[in-house]
Chain A
């Protein structure tokens, strides 16, 4: 099916563990984004990518690592998870840099215990 999919949908991990959230899109959109949604903050940008092998930091990048070896995939890794990273994570993609319309995945609810 065409679209943008995130996996897993739910994840519980322990403090200090490494965890990777996956994001896959089938439109061949150049731009991909990772946001986190927290109560009282709305959605905040973690990292974004303009193309394969091109990534850049967003508003809240600390503690996260991304890679983009293929256009369709944009995994987000928490190198050493902390409780403050408990959140809902959304991946998005868009066709142009102007971000006229970004398409979002269904989200990954991550709990760090």
Chain B
């Protein structure tokens, strides 16, 4: 059963606007959350992460918000750029686990 869910397979946003990618999780043991970005024919690359002790983490144009009570996190990209067009994976891990649980990914297209 999928423990990390990205319910939007795709998202299209105009350049300069905000992109919001959403992720839900079911396992309350998850305490660390990451976003990975993946271009075609390349491996995923780490983008930003957040610990469960925080509710927000910001890195340049990228901000991740965590709502533990709702078991929901979101990635905001402001302003969106065409180079942000990629598949974004949400991932989560539990302190006692070694591996990441991934969502199915959301394909973001930023149009000029």
Interface residues, chain A, with chain B CB atoms under 8 Å away? 31, 33, 35, 40-45, 48, 50, 56, 58, 90, 92, 97-107
Residues of B in contact, count (CB < 8 Å): 25
The residue of chain B having its C-beta at the shortest distance from the C-beta of A101 within the complex is B46
The residue of chain B having its C-beta at the shortest distance from the C-beta of A104 within the complex is B43
**Binary flags per residue of B1-42, CB closer than 8 Å to A gives 1, else 0:** 000101000000000000000000000000010101000011
Chain A nearest CB, measured from B101 CB (Å):
8
Q: Within 8 Å of chain A (Cβ to Cβ): is B111?
A: no
**Residue in contact with A90 in the complex, picked from B34, B43, B105, CB distance below 8 Å:** B43
Q: Within 8 Å of chain A (Cβ to Cβ): is B52?
A: no
Known A42-B89, A90-B44: A102·B32 in contact at CB below 8 Å: no
**Residue in contact with A101 in the complex, picked from B49, B95, B104, CB distance below 8 Å:** B49
**Residue in contact with B98 in the complex, picked from A48, A104, A105, CB distance below 8 Å:** A48
The answer to whether B34 touches A101, judged by C-beta atoms less than 8 angstroms apart, is yes
Known A42-B89, A43-B89: A103·B98 in contact at CB below 8 Å: no
Chain B nearest CB, measured from A23 CB (Å):
11
User: In whole angstroms, how far apart are the Cα atoms of A31 and B45 in the complex?
Assistant: 17
The answer to whether B95 touches A107, judged by C-beta atoms less than 8 angstroms apart, is no
Chain A nearest CB, measured from B36 CB (Å):
8
The answer to whether B32 touches A100, judged by C-beta atoms less than 8 angstroms apart, is yes
The answer to whether A42 touches B99, judged by C-beta atoms less than 8 angstroms apart, is no
Chain A nearest CB, measured from B82 CB (Å):
22
- Given contacts A98-B32, A101-B49, A104-B45, 12 further A-B pairs with CB under 8 A are A31-B98, A42-B89, A43-B89, A48-B99, A97-B98, A98-B95, A99-B32, A99-B100, A100-B49, A101-B34, A102-B100, A106-B43
